[in-house]
Chain A
Amino acid sequence: MATGIRDKVAILGMGCSKFGERWESNAEDLMVEAYTEALADAGIETKQIEAAWLSTAFEDIHVGKSGVPLAMALRLPYIPVTRVENFCASGSEALRGATYAVASGACDIALALGVEKLKDTGYGGLPQRSRGALNSMYWANVSAPGNFAQIASAYRAKHGVGKEDLKRAMAHISVKSHDNASLNPKAHLRNKVTEDQVLNAPMVSEPLGLFDCCGVSDGAACAIVTTPEIARSLGKKDLISIKAMQLSVSNGTEAQHNSWDGSYFMTARIAAGRAYAEAGVKRPRDEISLVEAHDCFSITELVTMEDLQLSSEGGAVRDVMDGFYDRDGKLPCQIDGGLKCFGHPIGASGLRMTYELYLQLLGRAGARQRAKNPVRGLVHNLGGLPNQNVCSITILGQHGA
């Protein structure tokens, strides 16, 4: 019987580039920026890294395919380097590769680095890309906001939520994320916005307005992982270890079988259930101190709070409006600004969320530090469409907690 990943792997060091419109930087520059911080934090040298994982999703507009771009940029010493892509959950996949490598005993120290350079397309929003030869012949003419907007229509119908009530809760989410990012020097969008601004912004895909959509950013984030024993031997005292890493991937049920009602993420519920079991979390709403959710769109964050069992089903609107997920609420969500305002360089995002929790757990988050150091944090990293997607849940916390 598998025993899971809990407390088998510790984070030795992390780094994250400034996110935003990095007109001056190539993807390689962003990789080095995140790596340099992580390496210093880990207190090791490049030659001590034994294996590496690189995550990118739109590689054709920046570094191209394979693990070679990472090895070249960081001058890695001819070690195994694997490139991974799993939609917007790619960053968590890189971390999973490195974590499992250490947990298996295959290597002592492993690296995960995610990068994306999205602002080289000439237009706003995510780059156009092929959906696959046959998919392109029958899929609807979807965009990312259009995909996720679908959830709002089904959620409203199922829970009888009025259009204006849902729109206001979504606005609260975006206002909160802008507030949080204003305290984060590495965030892409640091301006505060008002609820009126959010509600009156141009429509992107009904009911998602401009401020319901996350930033499309350039950036990189990086983690170096090892065993708790090695971390201690390298002088680390307050260890942050990984409690759970779960991934759930749609098999066609949502898209093709009439058992799913379209109002929630099946994968998130399944991955969260498995992650809580792996981490030994019994009452998520009480035991999780902080959550970094994949808030690609405001409606995604709202529905996800229910899928993660943090709000009751149909109860997220009330919790959001009550400030439960605000920075000074009981369970802050996106204390760093989230995808919405820290930004969303696809391949880096899962690692960026992990970076924030790592800082918060260590009490190193500066002006946005949670007053009482959190014990356990959850990263929710989602990719694809509501009806066929990839959901990754990572739980990390104080070692032994």
Chain B
Amino acid sequence: MGGISAIGAYIPRLRLSRKLMTDANAWFNPALKAFGRGERAIANWDEDVVTMAVEAARGVLGKTSGVGLGAIYLASTTAPFAARQNAGIVAEALHAAGALRTMDVGASQRAGTTALLAAFDTAMARKQRVLVLAAEKRHSPAGSVQEMTSGDAATAVMVEEGDGIARLVAQRSTSVDFVDHYRAQGREFDYGWEERWIREEGYLKLVPPVIAAVLADAGLAADAIHHFCMPCTLSRVPQAVAKKAGIADDRVRGNLDGVCGDTGAAHALLMLAQVLETAKPGERILVIGFGQGVDALLFEVTAGIDKARPDTVASSLAARKELAGYSRFLAFNDLVKLERGLRAEADKQTPLTTLYRNRDMVLGLVGGRCERCGTIQFPKAAICVNAACGASGSQVDQPFADFHGRIQTWSADQLTYCPDPPAHYGMVQFEEGGRMTVDFTDVDVGAVDVGMHMRMVFRIKEVDPQRGFVRYFWKAAPVTAA
């Protein structure tokens, strides 16, 4: 049936303390206090489903980039574009576009597991590697329970024909139009129904039969499951489902509620990724996706896990920075009418012809390397920038995305319009050669200086508020000690 050869996650650096959220909103809804423990992961202002998916994918792809990849499937219910394939943007950023199958999967919290199932079918049928990405940047009304329980993150899973680190043993799906919540086309927020009904008629009635079926397919009893991964924000529901299915309480894996929050369509895969960071060969993992039906995927950890142990859930949970203030979260997510100043009014229309012509450069961060003198330069140009060379038509593609560099010049700018001032930017000189003056992200005020070690990350450059277009480019972020 195929296996997972690599898995990873990208949980953005910023965390929002739930205490800050209840402090701000419990005056209106005291029931929020019940959710007031721990923190949730939040995307920086320049992150969305596409950028987080790219970052998760890079962790899984390593330095090989997307070469030899057959397909990229992106699952999300909060992707930035309703029309313009989001997976296609990811492919360009990974420098993997071209002979590649790409697909967006959405509309259900189950999209992540469904995309993973489709990836197994594709990998087996076409004998190709398939990269499954699931990401969410949750968008909820201020003061809502969803705002408390949600989290932002991305997961990446590489699926191949072989057994990999975890082989798929059995799988089952059902489709049921059970509407626990919905979001109509063009609407900003989800609309949900009563939690007691979702628990009784939804999870507890719809999930156990699918578990029974998948166990029967595998010829296993419920006690053969070592790790039960079912995302759910309702208290004790995973335990209740497990009990009904005959799975012991201590096999129910935690849902990262206190450290990340529920990441929607990405969450089942995120829980799977976390389990695989410590699971032993021979252990079995049951992953459930719930949303207008159920997906169940039963994995067995292989001996390969010891040679390719994933670790990015732990490392990205460790690389955390608490956001100073709930109001900044509201501003980042356009949940408050903020006075952004006249400078923010500048027209940000993107000429699509220009973008298309330069997509390797802008989305893929591809520059040039002069074959005559070896000078690496960005952007790639017709004539070499090295004054001692000056060769014409001598440059080949040189990807810059995986370069590391040092800050040569910088400033923290309070004047320019930036959603999170001051805007940090400066010149980064790369160890491999070449330089660029570029925006910085994920930096702390007062901590930036000449010589700082930086890497490149794919981020939102700006959003065109008039037309909704999201303009992406790469920024320099500090290399954090892993």
Give residues in A with beta carbon < 8 Å to B: 121-123, 125, 128-130, 133-134, 136-146, 149-154, 156-157, 202-208, 251-253, 255-259, 261-262, 385-387
Contacts and interface: CB of A to CB of B under 8 A. Distances in A.
Contacts of B471: 137
Interface stretch (B128-136, B240-248, B419-427): B419-427
B342 A257 contact: no
Contacts of A125: 415
A256 B416 contact: no
B362 A153 contact: no
A133 B354 contact: yes
Interface of B: 341-343, 345-348, 350-351, 354-355, 358, 361-362, 375, 377-379, 381, 385-387, 408-418, 422-423, 425-427, 429, 433-439, 449-451, 461-462, 471, 473
**Most B C-beta atoms less than 10 A away, residue of A143, A150, A256, A385:** A256
A158 to B, nearest CB: 9
Given A122-B342, A157-B450, A205-B412, A141 B378 contact: no
B413 A146 contact: yes
A205 to B, nearest CB: 4
Given A146-B411, A154-B409, A154-B450, A387 B381 contact: no
Given A154-B450, A253-B385, A141 B408 contact: no
Contact of A153 (B409, B417, B438): B409
A314 B422 CA distance: 29
B346 A146 contact: no
Contacts of B362: 134, 137-138
Nearest to A388: B437
**Most B C-beta atoms less than 10 A away, residue of A141, A203, A204, A206:** A141
Nearest to B346: A128
A119 B426 CA distance: 29
B346 A256 contact: no
A146 B345 CA distance: 19
**Most B C-beta atoms less than 10 A away, residue of A133, A146, A207, A259:** A146
Contact of A138 (B361, B412, B417, B449): B361
B429 A258 contact: yes
Contact of A143 (B350, B413, B429, B462): B413
Contacts of B426: 140, 150, 153
Given A138-B361, A153-B426, A205-B412, 6 more contacts: A128-B345, A138-B461, A146-B425, A203-B422, A207-B411, A255-B436
4 closest cross-chain pairs (CB), A and B: A146-B413, A149-B411, A140-B425, A150-B409
B408 A205 contact: no
Contacts of A204: 413-415
B375 A257 contact: yes
Contacts of A142: 413, 416, 425, 437
A272 to B, nearest CB: 19
Contacts of B358: 134, 137
A378 to B, nearest CB: 27
Nearest to A206: B412
**Most A C-beta atoms less than 10 A away, residue of B379, B416, B422, B436:** B416
B429 A128 contact: no
Contacts of A129: 346
A133 B342 contact: no
Contacts of A205: 411-415, 422
B339 to A, nearest CB: 12
A157 B451 contact: yes
A142 B361 CA distance: 20
Contacts of B451: 157
A139 B409 contact: no
Contacts of A137: 350, 354-355, 358, 362, 461, 471, 473
Contacts of A136: 348
Nearest to A126: B415
Contact of B439 (A141, A150, A255): A141
A140 B438 contact: yes
A139 B347 CA distance: 16
B387 A253 contact: yes
Given A138-B361, A257-B375, A146 B423 contact: yes
A252 B385 contact: yes
A57 to B, nearest CB: 17
Contacts of A134: 354, 358, 362
B45 to A, nearest CB: 12
Given A128-B343, A262-B427, A140 B387 contact: no
A345 B418 CA distance: 26
Nearest to B375: A257
Nearest to B381: A252
Given A122-B342, A149-B413, A139 B437 contact: yes
B414 A203 contact: yes
Contacts of A257: 375, 377, 385-387, 435
A295 B422 CA distance: 24
Contacts of B386: 257
A157 B387 CA distance: 26
Contacts of B346: 128-129
Contacts of A133: 351, 354
Nearest to A155: B409
A194 B415 CA distance: 24
A140 B437 contact: yes
9 contacts: A137-B362, A140-B426, A149-B411, A203-B422, A206-B413, A252-B381, A256-B381, A258-B434, A262-B408
A154 B428 CA distance: 12
A145 B413 contact: yes
A290 to B, nearest CB: 31
B168 to A, nearest CB: 41
A140 B354 contact: no
A150 B375 CA distance: 24
Contacts of A141: 413, 416-418, 423, 425, 439, 461-462
